[in-house]
Structure 1
Amino acid sequence: SACQRSEWHELPIPGAEFRDPQQMEALGWSLEQRPLEQAEVQVEFLPPQAEHSAGLRLAAYANPTENRLTTISQTPIAGGYEGASSRIRSSAASVQAGQLVRVAAKARILRAPTSPDSGVLVYDNQAGPSLGQLVRGNAGELVSIELYRFIVADGEFRVLAECRGQCDIVLESIATSVISPAVNRRSYATNPNDR
């Protein structure tokens, strides 16, 4: 079959190793932040360690607030789009119509999200956030991320990660690969009477 004759090939996204923030910016990575009154937002690069590769930490914590009785409480951060506080967009890789792209990554959960629609949403510019994977889990878990995208038009492919609601998650090891289905060049009869 055509799929058996095709192979996955690396689709490099420059800077996806999270090693040098200045180099990543020069390569086209970007950070957007939306100030949320009730949240303290953190985006930082974590150097490689013996047990972990370099990572990108996305975190949002509820700020303590004082009420009229001077007791300190925390107003929860909304999840979903309403609670989106920061978004990272990768540099671009060139893709062609008809290709299939696979995004594989790992995420370390430092603090579990506090609501069902909180976490780090990983998606791409081809399919958008509605087909992304919301990364969640318990503290200490290593979560696998996997997205597959069929490319319908030549252009750029970018990976995006968005912190939604209250969470603390480190993205590691983002790898993208591409497959171009083999084309069967044999002629086929297009009319049943042409046999």
Structure 2
Amino acid sequence: MSDVQTQTPWQDTITLRAGVPKTEVQQALARMTPEQLAVIQAVHETGWSLTVQSTAGSGKSTVLRTVAQVLPAGLRIGAFALNKSIARSLKDALPSDVQVSTFHAFGKTMVEECSPRKATFSEWKRKHLVDSLLKERGLYSKGVAKTALALVKLSMVHIANTGAAIEGLVSEQEMEWPAGLSPVELVRLVQDRALSDFLERGHYDYDDMLYLP
């Protein structure tokens, strides 16, 4: 079976961003699998939010490049990567008017632009807040502090905003918790203080780069 796909009517209606060679897009579409074409078609014809899951080397970058090439002219496009190496590869592959960045770099820019005070990076901000809170309650030890900080970060990764969700993380991770301070209270106090620290002093950490925007 040939890997060259037959062109369909929706492909004939595609418009390209300025400076994108038509032959390049046509050749890319002609060699795409049905699954890849389905992504391009959905982007072209709908306003859906899409998640593309695939293995390494299966053509995600080709799909992303083609998506950027066929999105309407004048539309602001951002492509965000997990690390600098991937971001550099994307920048080389995508149209020049596409903003390419790592998630952290983009978040850092947003935080600094929106900070009510002069923004200052504080790498260990949440660790210091956890340590301070535990010492206030007379519960500090290195082990407890390590567990508490891990829970704060897990609650952000899992977007655990409810008490039940936070308690669920404690149970799933089999965390040993000291009496005198509930995990829900700790997470909420630390996050409240983290936000206040940003608003009042402009302090931000790596987590803020991802979650404050």
| TM-score class, shorter | under 0.3
**Higher normalized strand content (fraction of residues):** 1
**Higher normalized helix content (fraction of residues):** 2
Rg: which structure is higher?
2
TM-score (norm 1): 0.19
Larger relative contact order (Cα-Cα within 8 Å, sequence gap ≥ 6): 1
